[in-house]
């Protein structure tokens, strides 16, 4: 007879031992149904299964907010109220006892997290930023205190309460979630309960983003995060309640080609995780450094892909290569291309129009749907528009969102620019509360029922830039670097470009701006230089010192593009900063 496992029921024999009671249909059957019952077998099994399923549901939902309502179909006011209720309970029940960093920070500031019951009280919690996370990322992981796992001096956490330990024990007895490991294991109930607890609390996966020092800043996930949080978020690909005629809809079997670089960040991992948890196909190229661009294009044309996931600057290069390959007969038209999903860089209207035109030349049939995303590694996920220009739909159930003034750090009115601040709700692993992203949402945020899809989401609108790092002093003028990039890129006749910021001689000399241009074919250079200088001056109040034109030969273009994408492989380095200790504002 095999040992105790997920398909056995254990009873206490009075001698300190657990004895498995086996069932013929390999279900968990209370011992009293094995003998002495006057009910028929079918009646017994029917009653048993109903009882077990009810108990299973009860165990799964212990500590959870249960409701039959569709959270994403609530009226905006009711959804905001429900989101705040979830937030306050989560802070009191999970952050307050188990978050080492916030327990220490709030204790130092005389704040009791157990008393957070209103938006006003929540707003008094300190903002945290990437520097806080980078200094001690392990202290941002929810970690109930356990013997043998001491915390550094000054940090502490509480043990799990008895009812939570009981929940893990009951789920271990019922084998919820079903764990195939016990088909070949004979763990004790204590070991199985510990294993069940690990599924909720043990970090098993890491994303990382670079801090100001360049050292990776890790963000941790648990099994619970993937299966109880991300699975729902990743499934939310908003479709309009009444689909718009002529616009391509998303179908679960649509194939996606990700040309993001392979790295431990959310832009790369999100498609991988989504296809596993949601069941929708994708292929990850790991970027041009692993699979060359030409090979990616061949794969897309031959593989029946409908969607491209990309950084905008690399997508432009990718489509231009596809056009060249089509003209030379190396690849057929990309007739299946219906949708591009863009992230990591802003998308202006001229850039959007450029992508549409290039896609058409590559053989894509209209209408091409261009969707923008927003996210960062610290968020643990990324978010998307329901349709073009609808605003990125943020999740209101597993996050709480704020938009604060960059200087006063007070809430701004709906639709006004502000810096995005978020709080995790319901997560395990790394948990951030009132995290200052540094992303300035210039189009503001509106929390309403989306007029395009009909579902209720907080929506943020581009342009999005860094509140601090995307600004620089050039010749005394405060220049918005994304605007500088957009101005040069959207100038007619510019194919590729790179702007270098340097000193004239030494670090005490004046600033110099040099713009290197690889023009489109048959473009007159002098008129283009004049137009470009005028546009840069009008947009930034700075006149470029030099505008240099690169040779338009095929080999020269390849060399220029290679320099442009040298740093990451998929994201163009349009601004090169060579001034040591230059001032950012």
CA–CA separation, 471 vs 499, rounded Å?
A: 15
Q: Is residue 95 part of a domain?
A: no
Q: Which domain holds residue 33?
A: 8-60
Cβ neighbourhood burial of 186 (10 Å; 0-12, 13-18, 19+): exposed
Last residue in a domain, options 16, 37, 60: 60
Q: Is residue 355 part of a domain?
A: yes
Name 465's Cβ contacts closer than 8 Å, sequence gap at least 6.
346, 439, 440, 442, 480, 481, 482
**What pLDDT is stored for residue 557 in this prediction?**
87
**Burial code of 115-135, b = ≥16 C-beta within 10 A, e = fewer?**
ebeeeeebeebeebebebbbe
CA–CA separation, 461 vs 374, rounded Å?
A: 10
**What pLDDT is stored for residue 569 in this prediction?**
64
Whether pLDDT at 96 is above 60: yes
**What pLDDT is stored for residue 515 in this prediction?**
95
CA–CA separation, 315 vs 571, rounded Å?
A: 9
Global model pTM greater than 0.75: yes
Whether pLDDT at 449 is above 90: yes
**What is the average pLDDT across 505-523?**
84
Identify the top-confidence range among 235-249, 322-336, 470-484: 322-336
**Percent residues over pLDDT 70 in the chain:** 83
**What pLDDT is stored for residue 232 in this prediction?**
96
CA–CA separation, 452 vs 426, rounded Å?
A: 28
Question: Which residues on adjacent β-strands are paired with residue 575?
Answer: 499
Q: Is residue 377 part of a domain?
A: no
Q: Tell me the pLDDT tens digit for each residue of 232-245.
A: 999 998 777 766 66
**What is the average pLDDT across 447-474?**
87
Strand pairing category for 546-549 and 445-449: unpaired
Residue of 340, 339, 343, 338 lying closest to 373 (CA atoms): 343
Q: Is residue 343 part of a domain?
A: yes
Whether pLDDT at 249 is above 50: yes
Whether pLDDT at 472 is above 70: yes
**What is the average pLDDT across 200-212?**
82
The angle at the Cα of 532, spanning 529 to 536, to the nearest 5 degrees, equals: 140
Whether pLDDT at 215 is above 90: no
Q: Tell me the pLDDT tens digit for each residue of 535-570.
A: 999 988 889 999 999 987 888 888 898 888 887 666
Q: Where residue 303 sits, what CATH number does that domain have?
A: 3.40.50.12780
Q: Is residue 419 part of a domain?
A: no
Q: Read off φ and ψ for residue 214, nearest 5 degrees.
A: 90, -10
Residue of 230, 171, 177 lying closest to 205 (CA atoms): 230
Q: Is residue 41 part of a domain?
A: yes
CA distances from 464 to 152, 212, 348, 481, 490 (A): 38, 20, 11, 12, 17
Cβ neighbourhood burial of 497 (10 Å; 0-12, 13-18, 19+): buried
364 vs 55, more confident: 364
Q: Tell me the pLDDT tens digit for each residue of 268-317.
A: 899 999 999 999 999 999 888 889 999 999 999 998 899 999 988 889 99
Residue spans of beta strands (DSSP E) within 475-524: 477-480, 494-503, 511-519
Residue spans of beta strands (DSSP E) within 504-562: 511-519, 546-549
Q: Tell me the pLDDT tens digit for each residue of 397-408.
A: 999 999 999 989
Last residue in a domain, options 324, 343, 366: 366
The angle at the Cα of 353, spanning 310 to 482, to the nearest 5 degrees, equals: 65
CA–CA separation, 503 vs 12, rounded Å?
A: 80
Q: Mean pLDDT, the chain, as a whole number?
A: 84
Q: Is residue 375 part of a domain?
A: no
Write out the DSSP string of 270-293.
Answer: HHHHHHHHH---EEE---TTTS-H
Give me the number of domains the chain comprises.
Answer: 3
Cβ(226)–Cβ(202) below 8 Å:
no
Residue of 159, 143, 136 lying closest to 201 (CA atoms): 143
508 band by pLDDT with thresholds 50, 70 and 90:
low
**Coil, helix or strand for 399?**
strand
CA–CA separation, 176 vs 19, rounded Å?
A: 20
| Long-range contacts, stretch 130-134, CB < 8 angstroms, 24+ apart | 130/211, 130/212, 130/217, 130/378, 130/438, 131/211, 131/212, 132/101, 133/211, 133/217, 133/378, 133/432, 133/435, 134/211, 134/212, 134/213, 134/215, 134/217
**What pLDDT is stored for residue 248 in this prediction?**
63
CA–CA separation, 366 vs 239, rounded Å?
A: 19
Q: Read off φ and ψ for residue 547, nearest 5 degrees.
A: -125, 110
Residue spans of beta strands (DSSP E) within 24-167: none
Overall residue count recorded for the chain in this entry: 585
Last residue in a domain, options 366, 393, 415: 366
**Percent residues over pLDDT 90 in the chain:** 59
Cβ neighbourhood burial of 464 (10 Å; 0-12, 13-18, 19+): buried
Q: Where residue 561 sits, what CATH number does that domain have?
A: 3.30.300.30
CA–CA separation, 155 vs 142, rounded Å?
A: 12
CA distances from 3 to 94, 179, 181, 208, 261 (A): 36, 15, 12, 41, 46
**What pLDDT is stored for residue 117 in this prediction?**
94
CA–CA separation, 350 vs 122, rounded Å?
A: 41
Cβ(387)–Cβ(453) below 8 Å:
yes
**What pLDDT is stored for residue 211 in this prediction?**
44
Least confident stretch, 217-221, 434-438, 503-507: 503-507
CA–CA separation, 122 vs 87, rounded Å?
A: 9
Q: Read off φ and ψ for residue 332, nearest 5 degrees.
A: -85, 180
Distance of CA 395 to the CA centre of its chain: 11
CA–CA separation, 312 vs 571, rounded Å?
A: 8
Q: Is residue 338 part of a domain?
A: yes
Cβ(9)–Cβ(21) below 8 Å:
yes
Q: Tell me the pLDDT tens digit for each residue of 140-190.
A: 999 998 755 688 888 999 999 999 999 999 999 998 888 999 999 999 999
């Amino acid at each position: 007879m095999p040992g105790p496992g997920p398909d056995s029921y254990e009873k206490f024999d009075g001698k300190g031992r657990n004895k498995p009671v086996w069932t013929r249909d390999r279900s968990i059957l209370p011992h009293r149904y094995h003998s002495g019952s006057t009910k028929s077998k079918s009646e017994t099994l029917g009653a048993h299964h109903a009882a077990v399923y009810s108990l299973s549901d009860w165990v799964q939902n212990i500590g959870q907010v249960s409701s039959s309502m569709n959270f994403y179909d609530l009226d905006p006011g009711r959804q905001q109220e429900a989101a705040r209720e979830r937030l306050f309970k989560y802070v009191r029940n999970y952050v307050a006892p188990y978050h080492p960093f916030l327990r220490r920070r709030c204790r130092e500031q005389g704040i009791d997290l157990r008393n957070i019951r209103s938006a006003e009280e929540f707003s008094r919690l300190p903002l945290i930023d990437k520097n806080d996370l980078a200094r001690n990322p392990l202290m941002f992981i929810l970690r109930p205190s356990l013997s043998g796992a001491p915390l550094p001096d000054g940090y502490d956490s509480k043990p799990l309460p008895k009812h939570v330990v009981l929940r893990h024990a009951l789920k271990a007895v019922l084998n919820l979630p079903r764990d195939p490991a016990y088909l070949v294991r004979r763990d004790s109930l204590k070991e199985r309960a510990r294993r069940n607890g690990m599924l909720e609390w043990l970090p098993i996966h890491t994303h990382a983003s670079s801090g100001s020092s360049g050292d990776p800043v890790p963000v941790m996930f648990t099994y619970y995060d993937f299966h109880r949080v991300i699975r729902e978020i990743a499934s939310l690909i908003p479709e309009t309640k009444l689909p718009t005629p002529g616009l391509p809809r998303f179908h679960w079997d649509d194939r996606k080609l990700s040309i993001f670089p392979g790295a431990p960040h959310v832009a790369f991992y999100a498609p991988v995780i989504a296809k596993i948890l949601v069941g929708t196909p994708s292929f990850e190229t790991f970027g041009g450094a692993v699979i060359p661009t030409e090979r990616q294009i061949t794969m897309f044309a031959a593989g029946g892909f409908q969607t491209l996931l990309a950084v905008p600057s690399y997508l432009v290069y990718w489509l231009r290569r596809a056009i060249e390959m089509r003209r030379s007969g190396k690849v057929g038209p990309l007739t299946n291309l219906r949708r591009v999903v863009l992230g990591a860089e802003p998308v202006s209207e001229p850039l959007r129009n450029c992508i549409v035109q290039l896609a058409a030349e590559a053989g894509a049939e209209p209408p091409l749907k261009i969707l923008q995303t927003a996210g960062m590694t610290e968020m643990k996920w990324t978010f998307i528009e329901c349709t073009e220009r609808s605003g990125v739909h943020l999740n209101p159930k597993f996050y709480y969102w704020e938009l604060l003034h960059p200087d006063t750090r007070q809430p701004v009115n709906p639709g006004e620019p502000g810096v995005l601040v978020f709080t995790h709700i319901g997560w395990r692993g790394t948990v951030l509360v009132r995290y200052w992203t540094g992303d300035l949402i210039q189009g503001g945020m509106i929390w309403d029922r989306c007029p395009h899809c009909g579902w209720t989401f907080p929506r943020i609108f581009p342009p999005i830039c860094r509140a601090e790092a995307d600004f620089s002093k050039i010749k005394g003028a405060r220049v918005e670097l994304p605007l500088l990039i957009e101005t040069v890129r959207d100038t007619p006749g510019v194919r590729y470009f790179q702007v270098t910021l340097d000193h004239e001689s030494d670090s005490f000399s004046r600033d110099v701006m040099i713009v290197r241009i690889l023009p489109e074919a048959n473009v007159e250079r002098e008129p283009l230089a004049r137009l470009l200088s005028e546009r840069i001056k009008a947009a930034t109040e700075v006149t470029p010192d030099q505008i240099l034109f690169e040779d338009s030969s095929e080999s020269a273009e390849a060399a220029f593009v290679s320099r442009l994408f040298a740093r990451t492989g998929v994201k163009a380095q349009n601004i090169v900063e060579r001034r040591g200790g230059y001032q950012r504002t």
